Amino acid sequence: MAQLYFRYGAMNASKSIQLLTVAHNYEQSGKKVLVFTPAVDDRYGVGTVASRVGISRDALPISEETDLFEIVAAEEPQPDCVLVDEGQFIGKHHVQQLVQIVDKLGIPVIVYGLLKNFKNELFLGSAALLCEADKIEEIKTVCVYCNKKATHILKFKDGKPVYSGETIEIAGNDTYSSVCRTHYYHPPVGTK
């Protein structure tokens, strides 16, 4: 039975490389996958899923107007699995479309993404996924300052931690760090 999976973790938890591995495994078995990624994430080019380890692949970009159900339903032959990267950036309506893909088409959907932003608030896409996913799985990583599990994202501006501002600013390790709760609220002085 097809299900909607939400696999979340902090930055550098290996979410994108896991998506790429799942896609590879399906395709090595002669199965078809469709891979989507939000168009807002243009770090490696619009429509590209890339891991920090240097592996990437093309994906279908998701904009506000994209109808994921319509795209998947029109595919011939139907895909065996649908994969979505950076799920925190999709809209609630996209999550409902993913639910339809699972429930009406019987195709499993696996979404990878962040749970919370640097303000320690749920992303809208992640909140919708938490409400609708059949299975929710955490992908763990460690704090950049200690060996505790990273549960928060710390944002830096001019070398100082910031806790307010634009919610979405596409950037990498030079701007954001995955940290434990202790280091989120009390980051070491002069760390970035």
Catalytic residues: 86
Residue identified by tokens 């506000």 is: 64
Other CB atoms within 10 Å distance of the CB of residue 84:
30
d(CA 82, CA 164): 34
d(CA 34, CA 82): 5
**Could you tell me the two tokens for 39?**
């168009």
**Could you tell me the two tokens for 161?**
């931690």
Which amino acid would we find at residue 185? Y
CB 29 within 8 A of CB 157: no
* Phi, psi at 168, each rounded to 5°: -110, 115
Question: Cα dist. 162→76, 96, 169, 185, 187 in Å?
Answer: 48, 33, 13, 11, 11
Distance of CA 46 to the CA centre of its chain: 15
